[in-house]
Amino acid sequence: MRQEDQGPFTRIRPFDAKRTCLLLVDVQNYVWNPDVAQRLPYFDAQLREVVLPNLRRLVDAFRGAGAEVLYTVIENLTKDGRDRSLDYKLSDFFVGKGSWEAKVLDALAPGDDDIVLPKTSSGVFNSTNIEYLLRNMDIETLVVTGFLTDQCVDHTIRDAADRGFYPICVADACATHSQSRHDAALKAFNGYCRTMTTAEVLREIAVADARAAAR
């Protein structure tokens, strides 16, 4: 049976600006900076040539449609990082409170009224109040983008699905350190979400805008 034929139990849903949120996961200086670019040339090229332009297009389209744009960043809530998850401590993930590394990339800077959530674990639903916020804003569909596909993006999609949201992964607006890791992640969490391209998401927004204008 095709997903479209499963009645109310389907991930194929028309775009609704009031019920949809674009989430940018860890698009920050800690994840991409000159040092990272030098060490990880594939990742650097993928961000410059594909992911960042697509993220910019998505942010502009969502803002233009009046939909929510939300950011998460890895950032300690305390100066010494004692609030970090055990995994982040063991992995030596330390992003100072208010530091340059914690800031969103300039190319994707948040708007004056956008929400930026600092998190101290891979799973944004585990270490922030994102679910509370999404419920308060009547969000049903979470469009997930950002870094890294096989780590924090993966966690976000699985957790969103388990909590009753409709996650969408925009495959060409996410990245990790190799193409093989990216492809494997998309395949692994495919059953938890609808996977789309940037062009497909923009097309659905345009269709929704046209319908609204015709009313």
Active site residues: 152
The Cα 41–Cα 39 span in angstroms is: 6
Cα dihedral 182, 174, 75, 45 sign: positive
Neighbouring-strand partners of residue 9: none
Interatomic CA distance for residues 112 and 109, integer angstroms: 9
For 97, 99, 144, 175, the CA distances from 20, given in Å and listed in that order, are 29, 30, 11, 22
The Cβ-side half-sphere exposure at 156, using a 13 Å CA radius, reads 31
